[in-house]
A and B are shown apart, each in its own frame.
Chain A
Amino acid sequence: DGGITQSPKYLFRKEGQNVTLSCEQNLNHDAMYWYRQDPGQGLRLIYYSQIVNDFQKGDIAEGYSVSREKKESFPLTVTSAQKNPTAFYLCASSPSGTVGEQFFGPGTRLTVL
């Protein structure tokens, strides 16, 4: 089955530690995205990548970093510089030319203690 996988579903880290969230897709999509969702809120765009080896900042990129070395993978690192990292993180992908139709993964809920 084609789709997007995010792992793990739940992640706990101590304050001050960097943590990397995994996102893999086998849909052969060119574009990939990372969003953050806080309780009761909508999604906010962190980073997006239109093609391998290229990515752009979204609305709330401070304290986050990404890489896009492979088409299938778009990992997100939450650094210690992110002041409020506890949130629900969602990865998505879309084919080029239909970027409004994004396919989302199941999400990773990160809790920083």
Chain B
Amino acid sequence: DAKTTQPTSMDCAEGRAANLPCNHSTISGNEYVYWYRQIHSQGPQYIIHGLKNNETNEMASLIITEDRKSSTLILPHATLRDTAVYYCIVREGPNDYKLSFGAGTTVTVRA
């Protein structure tokens, strides 16, 4: 069963913020939200993760709603190199060794 729902695709203008939504309405209290991206024909790259607080790093920000049923990944200033498939993954705590990658959202950044 898919734990997350993401739009199939979205476009973004270069230099603008890209907001990628993810629904995870069945998330439980000990499950984390992870985001990865995969540039064409390369291995996926870890972006960020969070449990219930908003998180920010050098790549992106993660906003998790208070009820934790959805989240948004924000790329603050999208560049052409951000064109990729973005995966939102829900994962249990330290004993869960599996990352379940769905189809993700194909993000195309246009000049």
Dominant SS among interface residues on chain B: loop
A74 within 8 A of B: no
Mark B68-107 against chain A: 1 for CB-CB distance below 8 A, else 0.
Answer: 0000000000000000000100010010111111111000
Residue of A nearest to B89 (CB): A100
Complex CA distance for A106 and B98, rounded to whole angstroms = 19
A107 touches B97 (CB 8 A): no
Complex CA distance for A33 and B97, rounded to whole angstroms = 9
Complex CA distance for A31 and B98, rounded to whole angstroms = 11
Residues of A within 8 A of B98 (CB): 45, 48, 58-59
Dominant SS among interface residues on chain A: strand
Residues of B within 8 A of A2 (CB): none
Complex CA distance for A88 and B101, rounded to whole angstroms = 14
B45 within 8 A of A: yes
A103 touches B46 (CB 8 A): yes
Given contacts A43-B101, A48-B98, A99-B94, contact A90 B43 (CB under 8 A): yes
- Select which of A42, A50, A59, A103 is within 8 A of B104 by beta carbon: A42
Chain A residues numbered 63-113 whose CB sits less than 8 Å from any CB in chain B: 88, 90, 92, 97, 99-107, 109
Complex CA distance for A44 and B104, rounded to whole angstroms = 13
- 10 A-B pairs closest in CB distance: A104-B43, A42-B101, A43-B101, A42-B102, A101-B46, A104-B44, A90-B43, A100-B34, A48-B97, A100-B91
**Pairs across A and B, CB under 8 Å, 15 listed:** A41-B103, A42-B100, A42-B103, A43-B101, A48-B98, A90-B43, A90-B44, A92-B44, A99-B97, A100-B49, A102-B46, A102-B99, A103-B46, A105-B43, A107-B43
